[in-house]
Structure 1
Amino acid sequence: MINEDWLPHRRAIDGELAGYLVPAAGEPGRFAPVTIIGTIIEPETGPLPEAEARALVEARGLEELHGRWWAELPAPLLPGVLDASNPVAGWEWRLVVIVEADEERCVIRPQDPAREELESSAVLPVPVGELLRPE
């Protein structure tokens, strides 16, 4: 569940949620720009002034979700939808892609699914925390 103090940012062009501004502890007026799944957009910059953080979320918030990520999943991933919020011993870090994301959940699937995984996906809670890592 998204923290109540996270400020949503919607794209100017269409009003779609692009990410959040997370207030920096002990740094009034500074924010970490994060995606809709709670991953930091540019961690190396540290907290930014509000206008800069908003501009970064506007420009890259949704774009950041594309590409490959790592998640712990069973191999093979059985057909259907798996709740992957609590990885089990024996699951492997696998390359995945995000197929759907919103304020409540992030749906992923294997990057290169085996034949038996073509109808498989997994769901992570939002924010994803350490359950999903960028490649």
Structure 2
Amino acid sequence: MIPANWIAHHRLTDGTPVGYLAPASERDAESFSPMSLIGETLGEPQDLAEAGAVLDMRGIEMLGEPRWMRLPEPLPDAFDAVDALSPDAPWPWRPVVIVDWSATEYRIRLAHPSPGDASVPLVFPTPAAPALRRTTPDGIEERRINH
């Protein structure tokens, strides 16, 4: 669940929710971190207007960008998504996309399912766990070339 002290931010032009403004710290009431709708950091702490501008420009757009998560291959139908939240998950990095979100959860699916992969979305609690990465994990290209 999105923390209670995060401020929902809506785009001024049309009122669309585009993210949250998270206080940078309890001691700094002037700085806010722009956070996506699933709770990912989108920039450094800055003043309220600047953090809001980041969300206006990138809040919705970034949800369509691919992510990476360690998931079993093939992905079984009865997979408990909570197991994927462990940063030490023993599975390979797999590209995923976000398909739905709310203040309490978000859903992902495999970007490139392999034969035998379950086709149901996986559900995770919001805010997003560090197990969901926006950047390509180190060494991923080498593994693709070697297979």
Alignment TM-score > 0.5, same fold: yes
1:118 Cα shift?
6.0
Structure with larger Rg? 2
Q: Please identify runs of 4+ aligned residues in structure 1 that moved more than 4 A.
A: none
RMSD value, Cα: 1.9
For residues 28 and 131 of structure 1, what CA distance do their matches in structure 2 show? Answer: 29
The structure in which a higher percent of residues are strand is: 1
Q: Distance in 2 between matches of 1:15 and 1:91?
A: 40
2:53 paired with 1:55: yes
- Structure 2 gap segments, 5+ residues each: 136-147
Aligned residues: 131
- Deviation, structure 1 residue 37: 0.7
Q: Which has the higher contact order (CA 8 A, sep 6+)?
A: 1
Q: Partner of 1:40 in structure 2?
A: 41
Give the structure-2-normalised TM-score. 0.79
Matches within 5 A, 1:1-135: 1-25=1-25, 26-42=27-43, 46-79=44-77, 82-87=79-84, 89-117=89-117, 119-135=119-135
Provide TM-score, normalisation by structure 1. 0.85
Any unmatched runs of 5+ in structure 1?
none
Give per-residue Cα distances to partners, 1:112-133, cap 9 Å, x unaligned. 1113326232111100121211
SS of residue paired to 1:55: helix
Identity over the aligned pairs, expressed in percent? Answer: 37
